[in-house]
Structure formats: structure tokens, C-alpha cells
Chains A and B, each alone.
Chain A
Amino acid sequence: MRLRWENISFTYPTGVRALDDVDLTIASGELVAIVGENGAGKTTLVKLLNGLLRPDQGEVWVGDWNAAEHSTAELAARVGFLFQNPDEQLFERTVRREVAFGPRNLGMTEKKIRSQVNAALKAVGLDAQAERHPYDLPVSDRKMLTLAACLAMDDPVLVLDEPSIGQDAAGRARIGRILRDLHTMGRTLLLITHDLDFCAEYAQRVVVMADGHILADGPAAQVLAQNEVLERAAIIPPQLVRLAQGLGLPSMPLNVRDFVRVYSAWRRKKKKH
């Protein structure tokens, strides 16, 4: 499902101008990362998608819906949200009920709800914890639980705010796999993250924000190698990009396998000369 922000401005009641005339289109099925320092406007931008915030100026489109004409509840059927802090969205007594809450509100049948919940819990690795109280889980699992709740709703658009925070290597890899699966299924995915290594590995396209503006927007390998832009956005490039630049490699590898391939070719060429 296509997303569009048309000349959007937004100022918080405190007077902080979070977005200033932002124009952005995301095509259906894209996996896009939005990066920038704390307070750059990333979270504000995505909160406009489900009506949690309404713009002062401009229009937000979710598929063929103008967000202004739809309630937050209606928009929730199109845009799923994984909040940064999982405790903002957990309120049921068991893990299973938590995940079933969304599908039930969307009016799915009991049979469908059951299969959605089971599949979602399995995907995040919490199938054995279904009857526990959400707050008995450690915070990294509570994040996985909120992800399961999003997955069970089958929303065509999913916004993930800092999904890799507090996850160990196994948790990061699991979230990465889920993102790839959703991407293959044609979902539109928005990833907000400070974890540039995670972003390099999984995002196709990267949007860089600073002070409520978009500084850069393009394919991940291109954007993540623009040191000047990243510097202005107070972002440190991914580890592999820094290493590739330090060595003077001809192209920017975004994962370990790519790096070894590019490096090997570069070294062979260097030896010949």
C-alpha cells in the first residue's frame, strides 16, 4: 500500500516544530528506513499515518485514503505500529489475549484469530509463553510480543520504531528474518532506527531526517555512504561503510558477505598492479 506525505508541517503544543514542509512518497511493498538523531522528526512523521497526530498543514495519504477523513481506529486496519517502548501498548492479562486483541477488533472469526495468533507467536519465538502475563516477560520479549500483536493483524503497512533495541544477536536476526518475510509478502514496511548496522543489512531505501526536514533519500548503499549528509544529521555511518571507506574500497558493502566479496576483488586487483 502506497504512503504519501504532501507538504506536511507539524508543530507540537510546546512550540517545537517537528516537521517543516515534508514531502515523501513510499511505494507499495518498499522496505524503507528513516534515520536521524533524537528529535529529528521521525516518530512524528509516522504518527501522522494513523491519526495519532494530525498535521497543521498538508495531507497524509494511506493508500487511497486521506488520513484526515478517517479515524485512528479505521487507520489501524491499514497501518500497524510497533512502538519504541513496548509497555505503551501492552494491556491484556496473557500473551495470547494480547496478540488476539487486534484481530478481534478487526472482526476476524474466532478460527481465523486462533490461527493468526498461533502463527504470530511462532514467528517471534513466544509460542511456549502464550499463557504467561506480558509483564512477566523480560523487556526484550515484551518487544517481541508487541511485534507478534502487529503481525497477527495482517496490516498492509507496518511501522517499526526501533525494533532492535535491547535485542541480542539472536533477537536481531529473528526480527531481520521477519522483516524479510513481510517484505517478500509485499507489505509496505517503515523502519525507524538508530541502529545503522541493522538498517544497512535490511533496508532497501534510506531516508535521512534532521530538524524536521528530509536531508537525503535513496538506495541504502548510496545514502549510507554520504558522510557529509550523515554528519549533518548527527549520524555515524554503519561499521562496514566506515571500514570500506577507510580501506578505499570501490563500492559500499552493506553486509558481511558483500564486504568479503568486494574486498577480495579489490585485493586481487591491487596485487596485480
Chain B
Amino acid sequence: MITVKGFSYWYPGEEEPALEKIDLTIPQGQFCGVVGANGAGKSTLCSALSGFVPHFFHGEFEGEVRIDKHMVAQTPLGELAGEVGLVFQNPFNQIGGARFTVREEIAFGLENLGLSKKEMETRIAEVLDLVGIEELADRSPFALSGGQQQRVALASILAMQPKVLVLDEPTAQLDPRSTEDVFSALRGLVQRAETTVVMVEHKLEWLADFVDRVIALDRGRIELDDSPTKVLSSPRMVKMGIGRTQYTETAAAAKRGKLKLRPKILPVTLDQARTFFR
């Protein structure tokens, strides 16, 4: 479980907080999406949940972040790594580069967990399959496309089997099919292993289909926090510069026009939109 209480954070030398008075409880086994316009504080929230704030990014903070019983500010990053895994926005920042193959890259994190060789091999095979990169196992991580690297970065973190998984736009460079695969794999983890997943994502349509809850950040604060349908259809999404799915926008435009459409709640998924326009 993730518990955030009155958490504010200022990057070194900044007057405005990047996060302001965040209160948040995410139970074990919830799949939670985080949305926000550029600069809303999404990546900073990821850093705060995974300990990079305050252990790597210094600056000032107030309040507390807890992962289960661990107070993040008081727990060294190395110790947190077994509890919470962070998948970075840019896979280049994640892939160590000390290893020659994708398989070795994934093994790197596992070596620090003190697992047996057999257990490591099992986990590596599992995650290669889970993110669909078996055929890349023996290639160099640096000879891969951006989308392939992004999946290697994800696999490396998944192999650690953290209880909490924090992902910062993990599908940005992926094509739609691979995006769907990643969302399905995460959904599966939530269901099978009760992993808690916090995922920053601009692809609203996928959030609508897959997550349990959506949090919308605006200038460092939580503006909306509710079910995907309620948050993603809210007119405030437009005001905050996040936007809405085309299903929602089309329904909103139809309602503004002369069309008399009965349903009150705007659709956020294809199925909802089909019902809406029927």
C-alpha cells in the first residue's frame, strides 16, 4: 500500500513547489493512472513514490511518503528497490550499459537481490515472454529501437517483482499493439500478484480501458481522483490542458449541437461511445 500525507516538494533553487500538499492512499493491488499537462508534477510524483525524491533529487520537502511500513525518506534507495520499481520516461536513463545483452541487462538488477542462478533464469524467461521481447534476449541493448529499449527497461524492473510498480509513460515510444500488450501485462500482474501499479500516461484511451482509478494533477496538486469514467469525461480535463479521448470529445460536440442524446455521462471508451450514439 502507498500512503502519501501532506507531501510537498521543491526542486533545489525553485520557489514554486513541484508537488503541493499531496494526500493519497493507493491500496495493494490497485492499477492507478496518473494524468496531467506537461509540468503538472507527474514525473516528480513518480520520483517521490520510488524514493528518487529525496534521495537522488535533493531540494526541500514536507510531509511523508510510505510504501507499506517503509518511510521513503528514511529508507535507503537500495532497500527500497526491493519494494518499489520505477520505470523511467526515457529508457536510455534506465539501461545501465555495463552489459552486452538484453538478458544480462535484466540479470543485473537480480544479481543484487541475491537470487539463485536457477531462480534468475526463470524470472528472466518470464519477463522476456511477458513483454514480448524473447527474440531480443541476446542482442545488445544499445542496438535496439526506442520502443524495444522501452520494453527492455520495463522487463528489467518487472523481473525484480516489486510489490509496487511506478511507471513514467512506459508506452510513449510503442506502437498501438505493443501498448496494448504492456497494459494487458500490467493488468495481469495486478490480478495475479496483487502488484500495485501507478502509471503516468498520456494515452487516455488505454487508461479508460485498463485502470481502476485515475488521478489528474494540475500544477503540483491533485485536481481529480476518481473512476476512469468520471475523471476522463470531466470538462476540467480540457481546462487543465490534458484533453479527453475522441469518444468523449465527439459526444460533447454532439451534445453541444442540436442532437438530442439522452445519456448524461459522456463516454470514455469505444463501448461506451457506441452505446451513447446508438
Inter-subunit contact B38/A165 (CB<8 Å):
no
B180 at the interface (CB under 8 A from A): yes
A38 at the interface (CB under 8 A from B): yes
B277's partner among A36, A197, A247, A256 (CB-CB below 8 A) is A247
Inter-subunit contact A260/B147 (CB<8 Å):
no
Inter-subunit contact A240/B246 (CB<8 Å):
yes
- B-chain residues with CB within 8 Å of residue A139 when the two chains form the complex: 89-90
Task: Please encode chain A, from 146 to 185, with 1 for each CB lying within 8 Å of some chain B CB and 0 for all others.
Answer: 0000000000000000100111111110000000000000
- A-chain residues with CB within 8 Å of residue B146 when the two chains form the complex: 84-85
Inter-subunit contact A38/B147 (CB<8 Å):
yes
Inter-subunit contact A194/B175 (CB<8 Å):
yes
Given the known inter-chain contacts A141-B38, A166-B172, A264-B257, please indicate yes or no for A243 contacting B250, CB distance below 8 A: yes
Task: Please encode chain B, from 178 to 207, with 1 for each CB lying within 8 Å of some chain A CB and 0 for all others.
Answer: 111000000000000000000000100100
B71 at the interface (CB under 8 A from A): no
Inter-subunit contact A168/B241 (CB<8 Å):
yes
- B-chain residues with CB within 8 Å of residue A246 when the two chains form the complex: 270, 273-274
B274's partner among A38, A169, A243 (CB-CB below 8 A) is A243
Task: Please encode chain B, from 32 to 71, with 1 for each CB lying within 8 Å of some chain A CB and 0 for all others.
Answer: 0000111100010000000000000000000000000000
> How many B residues touch A, CB cutoff 8 Å?
45
- A-chain residues with CB within 8 Å of residue B116 when the two chains form the complex: none
- Nearest CB in chain B to that of A241: its residue: B246
A27 at the interface (CB under 8 A from B): no
Most buried by B among A43, A138, A239, A264: A239
Task: Please encode chain B, from 144 to 185, with 1 for each CB lying within 8 Å of some chain A CB and 0 for all others.
Answer: 011110000000000000000000010011111111100000
B205's partner among A84, A165, A239, A260 (CB-CB below 8 A) is A239
Q: What is B's interface to A at a CB cutoff of 8 Å?
A: 36-39, 43, 89-90, 92, 139, 143, 145-148, 169, 172-180, 202, 205, 238, 241-243, 245-247, 249-250, 253-254, 257-259, 270, 273-274, 277-278
- 4 closest A-B pairs by beta carbon, nearest first, are A169-B243, A38-B147, A236-B176, A239-B246
Can you give 24 A-B contacts (C-beta < 8 A)? A38-B147, A38-B175, A84-B146, A84-B173, A85-B90, A87-B92, A141-B38, A166-B172, A168-B38, A169-B37, A169-B238, A169-B241, A169-B242, A170-B241, A197-B246, A243-B246, A243-B250, A243-B270, A246-B274, A247-B278, A260-B254, A264-B254, A264-B258, A267-B259
Given contacts A141-B38, A169-B243, A239-B245, 16 further A-B contacts (CB under 8 A): A85-B92, A138-B43, A140-B38, A165-B172, A166-B202, A168-B36, A168-B37, A168-B241, A168-B242, A171-B38, A172-B243, A243-B246, A243-B274, A260-B250, A264-B258, A264-B259
Q: What is A's interface to B at a CB cutoff of 8 Å?
A: 14, 36-39, 43, 84-85, 87, 138-141, 162, 165-172, 194, 196-197, 234-236, 238-240, 242-243, 246-247, 256-257, 259-260, 263-264, 267
